[in-house]
Amino acid sequence: MKLKRKNVGAGILMVVFTVLFFVLTSKFFLVASSQSAEGVDLIEYGKRKWMKSDVLDAKRGTMFDRNGEVIAQDIPSYSVIAILDKKYPNHIKDPEEAAEKLSKVLDSDKEDLEELLSKEGRFQVEIPSGRKVSYRKKEQIEKMKIPGVDFLRESRRYYPNQSFAAHVLGYTGNGEDGVQTGLMGLEKSLDKYLKEKDGKISFVGDAFSRAIPANKESITPPKHGQDIYLTLDEKIQLYLDEAVQEAAKKYKPEKITGIVADPKTGRILAMSNSPSFNPNKKDIKNYTNFAVSYPFEPGSTMKIFTLAAAIEEGKYNGNEVFQSGSYKLPNIGRPIYDHNKRGWGPITYNEGVQNSSNVAFSKLVREKLGYEKYRSYLSKFGLDQKTNIDLPNEKSGSILYNYEIEKVTTAFGQGTTITPIQQIQAATAIANGGKMMRPYVIDKIMDPETKKTVLSNEPKVAGKPISEKTAKQVRDILETVVTDGTGKPYMIDGYSVAGKTGTAQIVGKDGKYISGWGENVFSFLGMAPKDDPKLLVYVAVERPKVEFPEMGSTPVANIFTSVMKSGLQYLNIQPEAKVNDKSSKVKKSYGKELPDYTGQSAEKAKSDLEKLGMQVSIIGSGNDIINQEPYEGAYVMKGERVILRTSGDAKMPDVKDWSYMDILRISKLLGLKETITGSGFAVKQSIKPGNPVKEGDFFVVQLEPPKVTESETDAEEEENAEETGSSEEPSEEEDLPVTD
């Protein structure tokens, strides 16, 4: 009986298991054929569960100067994360210890960090004070070997020269997709070229996102942004930025703008504004690029183009005499005055240009040229339209030319407004034999992987308003402005400068011109060397804080002379004949042409150079010269420094009292990466005298101006008083505009 019961039970179990087997088998085949269960797509579920992916970082396009130096680039940054999930092999094991170590590097509160690292139910947390830390801090944290601490690699936009051409380059920010987006300047206008697109890698991974071997990866490669090559020259831009910052710090003006251009091509070599900002910090107070977006009354720099028009039309006789001081127009109550109100008595038109006589230029337009003819030249010089420079937000000024008084005042730069870049374009015609060149800053755009040029710019003639003969005559006359007229502060030893000063009044909120010492826009538009200009420089300073007798033009002259001289020397433009202050036609040769000393004995070369009055520095432990600065064939003047590099190890000399140019020369000779702060002569150096140096070392030098004695200060005040002709501040009478 018992056996029978066992057999029945076994049979029942066999039937049950058989049914279960068929049910499960049927379910298996059903799932296998439909690839779903309970309405869930098992293929998609598996992909979500086991397919892992990582982002392949793309890089935003790099910006370079004209010599291939990086001026804007993506660099890696790191965000610190902490893994809290105890199931993960590498997690935070001791929150208190981890918080103590991290707080020292990240400058965070230890208790706050410990609380964050002790959170339950979180796989990982990001340390707030550890966002986008530098590689140096990452290394410091890694050396602590804190279990559970890891890093997310990101990239950020970096501008190695800090506030370098900030309004030209602009800056970036994170867009909605997390990818950097240009928000200002070229970063914004060229965003479609610069923008990157991240790639992706997909793979089968375990629960900890580790790739399972023998499984094929799927890769979508990243698309890097395209590289931008600009016409800016890093050295010249740094010269301009430094000079502008020094003037801003000392004189605290409302605005400063400066432009350096190659007049033969229209390439913009430097462009700077104040107030400026550091795009790495985004400490922005001024978003306007004054050089292209700020039209204002130019003042007497406008007289350059009035003079050119009169000469081109054969209406200018420089030796003709007129009565300076004031000029009364029919049916207009108040006369036009010269800037000193009294004038200089009967003078020639050439003297009128030198003294920046408003009366002279009023008479030229009204009595010689005629209003309609003069108006046509304003168009020929492009002063009534945008230049179409490849920078965003360019504005055009307004030619005020409805009434007779407006036509006359436009001749000397009042009423009518134009931008600095319009003046630069127009002045290229004076510097370039009559051919006016369109300004531009983008040289080319290249694909970084294929090296294919996507976009390329070439010099473009924007017009020919005057002849080569007229251009030369204008330059000759403008040279006398510098040697004999209002432009004396703009003279540069060794180089002939042609240019024109400008002092324009500013319209206040009440619609009237502001009066008072220094309450003007002071400017200078100049080129050098005069006979074959290599650089064209415009500088304008608005309302500098100056006390009588210091001239409002002083910061302009400081910027112009510093930038022009440094730029010409950097370009290896040899000094020319020295100009006699009393006659630009009388010149005498000076300076010595430096021979090639390579291969010669250092002591012999030093002896020969010292006999010529040169300062000589020898660097190197050997006897034979292998290199020199300045280069062979350069003209050097008595008292200049010549640096001779010999064979053997190099040691840093004591550069105290060395000039800015001397520091550049030694840096070039030894291949150093120099950073020069201040102006004047060297007082501090980062590499101590006698220490060995090698190519690529960083060399920081601080300059300070020489101390001025009491007697020198008195002499300078006398000179300023002579230039102004009076110690009185400008009159507050509401006469017609007064400008130099």
Cis preceding linkage at 730, omega within 30: no
Q: CB of 442 within 8 A of CB of 231? A: yes
Please identify which residue in the block is written with the tokens 């010669």.
600
CA 281 to chain CA centroid, nearest Å: 16
Residues 6 or more apart whose Cβ sits within 8 Å of residue 609: 616, 642
- Residue 151 CA to residue 159 CA, distance in Å, equals 23
711 is catalytic: no
Q: CB of 217 within 8 A of CB of 203? A: yes
CA distance readout (Å), 454 to 265, 443, 447: 21, 11, 7
- Residue 7 CA to residue 20 CA, distance in Å, equals 20
Which candidate, 473, 622, 491, places its Cα nearest to that of 565?
A: 491
Which candidate, 672, 733, 334, places its Cα nearest to that of 515?
A: 733
Q: CB of 275 within 8 A of CB of 286? A: yes
Provide the sign of the torsion angle of the four alpha carbons 48, 51, 52, 58, taken in this order.
negative
> Nearest 5°: CA angle at 529, between 525 and 534?
80
- Residue 675 CA to residue 701 CA, distance in Å, equals 6
- Residue 119 CA to residue 84 CA, distance in Å, equals 8
Q: Tell me which of 163, 274, 300, 562 is the catalytic residue.
A: 300
Q: CB of 249 within 8 A of CB of 275? A: no
Q: How many CA atoms lie within 13 A of 191 on its CB side?
A: 16
- Residue 670 CA to residue 674 CA, distance in Å, equals 10
Active-site residue numbers?
300
